Chains A and B, each alone.
Chain A
Amino acid sequence: MRRLAVLPALLLPSLGLADERVPAGAASCLGCHGGGSTGFPSLDGLTAERIADAMAAFREGHRAGSVMNRIARGFSQEESRVIAEDLAARGSAR
């Protein structure tokens, strides 16, 4: 059977609401935060709340970082929350 790990929307068609879907493109997060010892801050084991808080800190300029202080401003608080929940679910599934 094929893996559907990257397609939660396909697994959960009942999710339905378009604005609840992870924006297509957010999978890019995993290019750097895909787990393992990549050299980037790991998201493994972080709760959705912690990830969303970090995004908010970057977005609002309370955290310097490298590229995240810019990327975070491209996503609303609501989008960040949906992405954080998705990333946290993947992290805890590993």
Chain B
Amino acid sequence: MSPPATRRRVLSGLTAALAAPALAGAPARIVVIGAGFGGIAAARALHAGGCDVTLVEPAERYVACPSSNAVVAGLRDMAGQVFGYEGVARAGIRIVRQRAARVEADARRVRLAEGTPLAYDRLILSPGVGLRFDAIPGYDEAAAERMPHAWKAGPQTERLARQLAALDDGGLVVMSVPDSPYRCPPGPYERASLIAHFLKTRKPRSKLIVLDAKDAFSKQPLFRAAWSTLYPDHLEWVPRSGGGRVHGVDAAGGEVRAEAGRLRAAVACIIPPQRAPEIAALSGLTDAGGWCPVDPVTFESRLMPHVHIIGDACAAGAMPKSAFSANAQAQVCAQGLLDRLAGRTPGSPKLINACYSLIAPGSGISIAGVFEVRDGALASIPAASGISPLEAGPELRAQEAAYGEAWYRGITAQTFG
């Protein structure tokens, strides 16, 4: 533990930087919307930096997406995905348990769902993704009850796990995967792997067909090699060029309509296209693609001053939408804000992403990357990006599965602990 700085030193930095005279002598008021991996990391870093931080989050508990594919496949207990906010409150961060309805950027305030305004000097929006229930004909929120997306962890995760557990041996399982960008690029393929493992071991006469709106995906050579070795009879991947794009569902009838044809599914997991959540669009923070364009150094909105967007909702160039990325972006955004508050020019950041996926229980693969600012956007440093060796032996696969589990334990402890 480092020695505490005096309040005077912190405040002198803040007041020197902030031109607004109303702030003289007071710490900067930061409002953070969304208490997930990004929002909490930003709140913690800014609170530690002497800011007055308010975290807005209506949910009582957080249900983590990372590792939730193992819950879907019956390999992991849901309890391990659920985290309270007691640790965040214990750290001294104020939590407002309400939904944020809208950002009123001109007035620099957030309108809470109950109408109360919340003023800020800087706003950090870390709201995750919104699922598009208008993108696939027939796939709305009601349809998702029958054909779970399970792309936001919680009841949907358990629903899909229950459907798979109840599947008759021989029944067809269908998954659909959207075009990029979406939350967790390798996630659908980890899910496909673990469902195939479940079928192979528990419902051996069943099969999974993955309908994909893309021809290429994250960690593809590693997943494809694993599938042909481990699941030749239980997993079939249909790329876009093979007619894999889904253009409609009939949830009541269990029908999934792809360009390649119609499938009658006993269990269907439809992962719909995504965009930044409603609050971002309502507040004028999104571009035509539905995501929030940001400055790559401070993550300040390109469309509204004093509003910063981190995590899945922002368009972060080459960075994937992952919990690891959200945490890295939170650190960079907070550091950039504190630099600006202290009158310094933020240095050019380097952001890391690392991600482990399971191809089977106890067998993992990884992708990693480092991202820097190039031509005003976050670009991947080619030498620093790549996947696990294709020819790796079982020892490395076992080690990477263990590292994936260790990362999850570590990041959730740091975020919520």
Contact = CB atoms under 8 A, between A and B. Distances in A.
B381 A25 contact: no
B385 interface: yes
A44 B342 CA distance: 31
Given A26-B350, A71-B384, A39 B403 contact: yes
A38 B47 contact: no
A27 B7 CA distance: 24
Given A67-B366, A71-B384, A4 B2 contact: yes
B414 A70 contact: no
B352 interface: yes
A24 B331 contact: yes
Given A1-B5, A31-B324, A73-B383, A10 B349 contact: no
Contact of A2 (B50, B402, B413): B50
Interface stretch (B158-166, B187-195, B286-294, B404-412): B404-412
B171 interface: no
Contact of B13 (A2, A13, A40): A13
A5 B7 CA distance: 14
B383 A25 contact: no
Contacts of A4: 2, 4-5, 10, 48-50
Interface in B368-399: 368-370, 372, 381, 383-386, 388, 396, 399
B400 interface: yes
B220 interface: no
A11 to B, nearest CB: 6
Looking at A4, A13, A70, the one whose CB has the most chain B CB atoms below 10 A away is: A70
B276 to A, nearest CB: 22
B352 A25 contact: yes
A25 B332 contact: yes
B366 A6 contact: no
A67 B368 contact: yes
Contact of A74 (B327, B344, B384, B409): B384
Contact of B345 (A7, A18, A26, A70): A18
Nearest to B365: A66
Interface residues of B, number: 58
Contact of B354 (A23, A24, A67): A67
Contact of B368 (A3, A6, A27, A71): A71
A23 B352 CA distance: 11
Nearest to B323: A31
B90 to A, nearest CB: 13
Contacts of A3: 1-2, 4, 48
Q: How large is the interface on A (under 10, 10 to 19, 20 to 34, 35 or more residues)?
A: 35 or more
Contact of A66 (B2, B92, B346, B396): B396
Nearest to A16: B344
B381 A74 contact: yes
Interface in B1-47: 1-2, 4-7, 10, 13, 45, 47
A11 B338 CA distance: 12
B68 interface: no
A21 B10 CA distance: 18
A43 to B, nearest CB: 13
B241 interface: no
B381 A5 contact: no
Contact of A34 (B5, B10, B372, B414): B414
Contact of A75 (B332, B370, B396, B411): B370
A30 interface: yes
A7 B48 contact: yes
A3 B334 CA distance: 15
Contacts of B410: 31-32, 34, 38-40
Interface in B224-259: none
Contacts of A34: 410, 414
A31 to B, nearest CB: 5
Interface in A42-94: 66-67, 70-75, 79, 93-94
A31 B412 CA distance: 9
A18 to B, nearest CB: 5
16 contacts: A1-B5, A2-B10, A3-B1, A3-B2, A4-B10, A4-B49, A7-B45, A9-B335, A10-B13, A11-B5, A23-B349, A27-B331, A39-B410, A66-B366, A73-B370, A74-B384
Interface of B: 1-2, 4-7, 10, 13, 45, 47-50, 92, 324, 327-328, 331-332, 335-336, 338-339, 342, 344-352, 354, 366, 368-370, 372, 381, 383-386, 388, 396, 399-400, 402-403, 405-407, 409-411, 413-414
